[in-house]
Amino acid sequence: MNIIDHLSVGVPDIDTACSFYDGLLKTLGVSRLATSDAFAAYGNGAVQFLTMKPENGSAYSTGNGTHICFAAPSQEAVEAFHAVAIANGGTCEGEPGPRPAYPAPNVYAAFVRDPFGNKLEVIHNGFAA
């Protein structure tokens, strides 16, 4: 059993979030499963990741030292994820490539920030492999 049921990031605008995440997560075979004025939910058969406006009505914020990591089926998927992120308003936080310092063999990963500043990683041969 996985110890995580789902993960979410705060965003100020759901439509803008959908414009970014729909194409980005498609590179991993993930689609949007539900949308409301307050959230967009993504997964592969079940919701696992959400973009959400803060429920308390306060401004969203990003967490320093916090990131969400998505599993990729191949190095090519890592590269596509990174390229789609950059093409759709994201910023590079680490080019696609090997990560020999990781405590798992043959890791290939990339880091980006979404248009709202949330840090994302995509990894092939990561800890869940």
Q: What is the C-alpha to C-alpha distance for residues 16 and 94, in angstroms, rounded to an integer?
A: 23
The domain spanning residue 71 has which CATH number?
3.10.180.10
pLDDT, averaged per 10 consecutive residues of the chain (129 residues), comes to 85 97 98 97 94 92 91 97 98 97 93 97 89
What pLDDT is stored for residue 42 in this prediction? 97
Q: Quickly tell me which residue has 């920030």 as its tokens.
A: 113
Three-class secondary structure of residue 15 per DSSP: helix
Please report whether residue 61 resides in a domain: no
pTM beyond 0.75, yes or no? yes
DSSP 61: -
**Structural domain count of the chain:** 1
What pLDDT is stored for residue 78 in this prediction? 97
What pLDDT is stored for residue 94 in this prediction? 97
Residue 31's domain comprises 7-54+66-124
Rg (CA), the chain: 14
Please report whether residue 1 resides in a domain: no
Strand pairing category for 119-124 and 108-113: antiparallel
What pLDDT is stored for residue 1 in this prediction? 60
